[in-house]
Amino acid sequence: MNKLEWLNGLSLEDAQAELLRCCGSHRWADAMARARPFKDVPSVYAEAGWLWSQTGPEDWKEAISHHPRIGDVEKLRERFKASGAWSEQEQKGMEGATEDVVQALADGNREYEARFGFTFLICATGKSAREMLEHLRERMTNPPALELRIAAGEQAQITRLRLEKLLTSP
- CA 125 – CA 95 distance, rounded (Å): 12
- CA 160 – CA 170 distance, rounded (Å): 18
Question: Do 78 and 72 contact (CB within 8 A), yes or no?
Answer: no
Q: Which of 56, 58, 54, 48 is nearest to 118 (CA)?
A: 58
155-159 contacts: CB < 8 A, separation 24 or more?
Answer: 155/23, 155/52, 155/60, 155/63, 155/64, 155/121, 156/49, 156/52, 157/123, 158/23, 158/67, 158/90, 158/121, 158/123, 159/22, 159/23, 159/28, 159/48, 159/52, 159/63
Over the chain (170 residues), the average pLDDT of each successive run of 10 is 95 98 97 98 98 98 92 51 53 73 90 97 92 96 98 98 92
Q: What is the DSSP letter of 93?
A: G
Domain annotation for the chain: domains and CATH numbers: 3-62 (no CATH), 67-157 (1.10.3330.10)
How distant is the alpha carbon of residue 86 from its chain centre? 9
CB atoms within 10 A of CB 95: 9
- CA 26 – CA 59 distance, rounded (Å): 8
Longest dimension (CA), the chain: 49
